[in-house]
Amino acid sequence: MKDSILIKISNERINKLYNEALKCSDMDLSRRYITLMESIAKRMDITLERRIKLSYCKKCKTPYNNFNMRIKNGVINIKCNYCGNIRRLPVRD
Ligand SMILES: [Zn+2]
């Protein structure tokens, strides 16, 4: 199937962009990388890995480098330092 090659290339690009976004100290550039990564995934209909999806703010696309994390009543609250958006995740055991 020719599509599997496209998906393989897309996954490589996604990983590359993700790694660059984490390494990069320029937040504007990081956000750009994440946005690009999401658009590739969307176009190719690829579901991003959970570890990737959980590592950046869904609202402003800033990677959570030094986020505020709190656990309260079995829910993890992650607050984005850039836009202040709070993400709530149930604690998984
Ligand atoms: Zn944010």
Distance 9 CA to ligand 1 centre (A): 29
| Residue 57: predicted pLDDT | 95
Three-state DSSP state, 67: coil
| Residue 1: predicted pLDDT | 58
75: part of which helix (H) or strand (E)?
strand 75-79
Q: Phi first, then psi: what are they for 86, rounded to 5°?
A: -105, 130
Listed residues: CB within 5 A of ion ligand 1: 57, 59-60, 62, 80, 82-83, 85
Distance 52 CA to ligand 1 centre (A): 15
| Residue 93: predicted pLDDT | 65
Classify residue 70 by burial, with Cβ atoms within 10 Å: 0-12, 13-18, 19+. exposed
pTM of the model: 0.85
Distance 2 CA to ligand 1 centre (A): 37
Distance 81 CA to ligand 1 centre (A): 7
pLDDT tens digits for the chain (93 residues)?
568 999 999 999 999 999 999 999 899 999 999 999 999 999 999 999 999 999 999 999 999 876 678 888 899 899 998 999 999 999 876
